[in-house]
A and B are shown apart, each in its own frame.
Chain A
Amino acid sequence: MKPIIKVENISKQYRLGNIGLNTIRDDFQRWLYRIQGKEDPLLKIGEVNNRKLKGSSEYVWALKDITFEVMPGDILGIIGENGAGKSTLLKILSKVTGPTTGRIDFNGRISSLLEVGTGFHPDLTGRENIFLNGAILGLNKREIRSRLDEIIDFSGCERYIDTPVKRYSSGMIVRLGFAVAAHLEPEILIVDEVLAVGDAEFQKKAVGKMQDVNVKEGRTVLVVSHNMTIMNELCNRGILLENGIIKCDTTINNAIFNHITSNNAVTEKKWLNGNAPGNDKIKLRKAYIINKENKPINHAYINEEIGFCAEYELLSELSFFTHGINVFNSMDIHLFSSHDNVEIEKDKKFKPGYYKTTVWIPANLLQSDYIKISFACMKYNPFEQLFHEINVLRLNVLEPEVSLTRNESYKGKLPGLIRPCLKWEERQLI
């Protein structure tokens, strides 16, 4: 099959800083080269776009040599950190801005939804704004009129449809805007992080609509979102962008896994100074992960036991307290919580000093995923939290080459939140 979109070597250069006399100098230089028929000299400079590092050049590449193809009927998810170039890519695809170099070819109409309700005028009624927004997105009056009832129905704003939109709640504006966009019926739909707004019911409706458009009408959808749960559910392919470069172009599962495991793992932390987690009596000093040989590790396998260690300092005598951890997966789903189950001794005191607590997470419990651990110290009767440090450590838990929890002949990823090793029995009955 022939791809519906073909992106070849797309790059986008941006200039940082303010526009002033320096820009005149560069513009002049560019113009001089252009009239001599030479290549733009400023395209040769420019650095990889990493917003965290200080660079020496005023020019950066927001996108560099992006090449990929999209097949008709794909739902392609584009993921990456803030500033990775996702929105720039969508902007170029929607013709809001041009590429610096490269070429994109596509078939059919591209409709892009970079924002919900673009061009809504607060003084116009909902109905008038449907026409205006529809026309901005490229429909003519006849097309909008024929879909008007469906749009109003989908938005769920029937009662307000002849009221100026400035009287609408922000959620209603989003609903109305998405309703228009969802009925555009383009061959290619581009959606940028618009699902972040709106309530849960609406998000469900929107995701459902996008799947509908894809499955029933065979249309192609490109989505950018930071909500990995939605992306996982919606997309079949994923592109991971990192600093303007495609890091991987694979299935959505792999792309998400690569994204969340890329450089976020933190398996050891130390706090020496005053801003350590805790209060004036207790300070967390160190947290790290160990294996069952008590060696610190920076990643783990699902079939091995791992220990989470926390070292803390008591600055003054404290009455009895205990500890707990919370474990979340990469989608921020709370997997489980565990509390130190020692017998509560009301009269026990802890003397000032340096303590260490270790909690063991058994083998064959965690799924191959990226987990986040939070650690808390608290008192019971009355309950009081001394501190609760969210996201103390983040750890990649990997699938080993050989695993008891998976049949060797199956190579794909096993679904589910946990990976227990269960006992199976089979016997012939008759």
Chain B
Amino acid sequence: MTSTNDTYSHSITPHNSLFDFRLAELWQYRDLVTLFVKRDFVAKYKQTVLGPVWFFIQPIFQSLVLTVAFGRMAGLPTDGIPPILFYLAGITAWNYFSNCLRATSNTFAANAHLFGKVYFPRVVTPISVVLSNLIQFGIGLLLFLIIYLYYMLTGSHFHPNNTLFLLPVLICSMGIMGLGLGMLISSLTTRYRDLQYLVDFGMQLLMYATPVIIPLSAIPVKYTPIMLINPMTGIIETFKYSFFGASIFSWQLLSYSIGFSISIFLIGFIIFNNTEKNFMDTV
């Protein structure tokens, strides 16, 4: 105890300051992030026979259903791309975003028991959720690439182009948008749970306002503004454009999406950070 009388290394006060992000503390808990990711991943497929194969089965069936329903029966255009590949691309990207958002949006409610017993930076939980979804997305992307190469070798005409280098940016953007929105919603739902119910069907509605199934080029002009406001549109379109060279790509649209992701992430993070201290009393 060489320090002077009134200095203490830590203190606890009623409120956190708004912009005190305690990133150093978060860094100390990095091992917890990896352990949570591992836990989620291992626990998900323990005691299943097919194990991680389920990661493949889900998107394949989803695309098959879409191919039959929208491609064959409704006859919607796919920008000249083989329908199954077109839908798989959209589904893979969309599922990543949607899984991140859904899983992080009930962080507080789902972890109330854990949070009530021990302190660690709460933001560890949503971050690890996004990371374990990233692994799942990686597997989905692998599946997509296999089918993509198959079509390429059998003579379909794609024009993969150098926007492919934007892929990491797209993935990050989707991840932090899902994380930001998820943290925002989970903070708002600690006290009033109404929003939680909105998330489930809201995500379904949002999918139809995103060019996952119907390409942006095939949307009637009077609906395009809705599509353009949706920050996911730019990401999904760029994703498809980079692989197929056939959708719409614009820097404007993409910048809007990225800008939105970053802002919503910051807002979500700040609000989450201010909620975590007293949420236990209201959840």
A residues within 8 Å of B by Cβ?
Answer: 1-2, 6, 14, 19, 23-24, 27, 72, 91-108, 110, 112, 114-115, 118-119, 121, 123-124, 128, 131-132, 135-141, 164
**Chain A neighbourhood of B28, CB < 8 A:** 138, 140
* CB pair A132 B119 closer than 8 Å: no
* Chain B positions 110-146 with a Cβ under 8 Å from a chain A Cβ: 114-120
Q: A107-B8, A131-B35 are in contact. Are A115 and B117 (CB under 8 A)?
A: yes
**Chain B neighbourhood of A27, CB < 8 A:** 191
Q: What are 28 inter-chain pairs, A to B, with CB distance below 8 A?
A: A19-B191, A93-B12, A96-B115, A96-B117, A96-B119, A97-B278, A99-B14, A101-B14, A102-B14, A103-B12, A104-B12, A104-B13, A106-B9, A107-B10, A112-B119, A114-B118, A118-B114, A118-B117, A118-B118, A123-B43, A123-B46, A128-B42, A132-B36, A132-B39, A135-B29, A136-B32, A138-B29, A140-B28
A92 and chain B: residue at smallest CB distance: B12
Closest CB of chain A to B30's CB: distance in Å?
A: 8
B193 and chain A: residue at smallest CB distance: A19
Contact pick for A107, options B9, B15, B117, B191, CB 8 Å: B9
* Chain B positions 1-56 with a Cβ under 8 Å from a chain A Cβ: 1, 5, 8-15, 28-32, 35-36, 39, 42-43, 46-47
B76 within 8 Å of A (CB atoms): no
A114 and chain B: residue at smallest CB distance: B117
- Max chain A CB contacts within 10 Å: which of B12, B43, B280, B281? B12
Contact pick for A136, options B47, B118, B281, CB 8 Å: B118
B58 within 8 Å of A (CB atoms): no
* CB pair B39 A121 closer than 8 Å: yes
In the complex the two chains form, what is the Cα distance from A139 to B117 in whole Å?
16
- Max chain A CB contacts within 10 Å: which of B13, B35, B39, B115? B35
Main secondary structure of the interface of B (DSSP, over half): loop
* CB pair B118 A103 closer than 8 Å: no
* CB pair A140 B12 closer than 8 Å: no
In the complex the two chains form, what is the Cα distance from A207 to B101 in whole Å?
45
B204 within 8 Å of A (CB atoms): no
Closest CB of chain A to B229's CB: distance in Å?
A: 29
In the complex the two chains form, what is the Cα distance from A138 to B27 in whole Å?
11
* CB pair A135 B32 closer than 8 Å: yes
- Max chain A CB contacts within 10 Å: which of B14, B36, B116, B280? B14
* CB pair B31 A140 closer than 8 Å: yes
**Chain B neighbourhood of A140, CB < 8 A:** 28, 30-31
**Chain A neighbourhood of B42, CB < 8 A:** 123-124, 128
B32 and chain A: residue at smallest CB distance: A135
Q: A108-B9, A136-B114 are in contact. Are A98 and B35 (CB under 8 A)?
A: no
A97 and chain B: residue at smallest CB distance: B280
Beyond the given A99-B14, A124-B42, A135-B32, please list 16 additional residue pairs across the A-B interface where CB-CB is below 8 A: A1-B1, A14-B281, A19-B192, A24-B192, A93-B12, A96-B119, A98-B15, A98-B277, A104-B11, A106-B11, A112-B119, A119-B118, A123-B42, A135-B29, A139-B31, A140-B30
* CB pair B119 A123 closer than 8 Å: no
Contact pick for A23, options B46, B119, B191, CB 8 Å: B191
Closest CB of chain B to A405's CB: distance in Å?
A: 44
A94 and chain B: residue at smallest CB distance: B119
- Max chain A CB contacts within 10 Å: which of B42, B47, B118? B118
3 tightest Cβ-Cβ pairs between the two chains A and B: A105-B8, A95-B119, A135-B32
* CB pair A135 B35 closer than 8 Å: yes
A-B contact count (CB 8 A): 108
Closest CB of chain A to B167's CB: distance in Å?
A: 31
A111 and chain B: residue at smallest CB distance: B118
B46 and chain A: residue at smallest CB distance: A123
Closest CB of chain B to A200's CB: distance in Å?
A: 25
**Chain B neighbourhood of A115, CB < 8 A:** 117-118
**Chain B neighbourhood of A124, CB < 8 A:** 39, 42-43
Closest CB of chain A to B143's CB: distance in Å?
A: 26
* CB pair B282 A97 closer than 8 Å: no
A98 and chain B: residue at smallest CB distance: B277
In the complex the two chains form, what is the Cα distance from A103 to B10 in whole Å?
11
* CB pair B116 A96 closer than 8 Å: yes
B282 and chain A: residue at smallest CB distance: A19
In the complex the two chains form, what is the Cα distance from A421 to B117 in whole Å?
50
**Chain A neighbourhood of B114, CB < 8 A:** 118-119, 136
Contact pick for A105, options B10, B36, B117, CB 8 Å: B10
Contact pick for A98, options B32, B47, B278, CB 8 Å: B278
* Chain B positions 165-203 with a Cβ under 8 Å from a chain A Cβ: 191-192
* CB pair B35 A112 closer than 8 Å: no
**Chain A neighbourhood of B31, CB < 8 A:** 135, 139-141
* CB pair B14 A98 closer than 8 Å: yes
- Max chain B CB contacts within 10 Å: which of A24, A27, A97? A97
* CB pair B11 A136 closer than 8 Å: no
In the complex the two chains form, what is the Cα distance from A17 to B10 in whole Å?
34
**Chain B neighbourhood of A101, CB < 8 A:** 14
* CB pair A106 B10 closer than 8 Å: yes
* CB pair A97 B8 closer than 8 Å: no
In the complex the two chains form, what is the Cα distance from A91 to B42 in whole Å?
31
In the complex the two chains form, what is the Cα distance from A98 to B191 in whole Å?
16
Q: A2-B1, A135-B29, A140-B28 are in contact. Are A96 and B118 (CB under 8 A)?
A: yes
In the complex the two chains form, what is the Cα distance from A281 to B146 in whole Å?
88
B40 and chain A: residue at smallest CB distance: A121
Closest CB of chain A to B107's CB: distance in Å?
A: 14
In the complex the two chains form, what is the Cα distance from A335 to B5 in whole Å?
49
B120 and chain A: residue at smallest CB distance: A136
In the complex the two chains form, what is the Cα distance from A99 to B39 in whole Å?
32
A137 and chain B: residue at smallest CB distance: B118
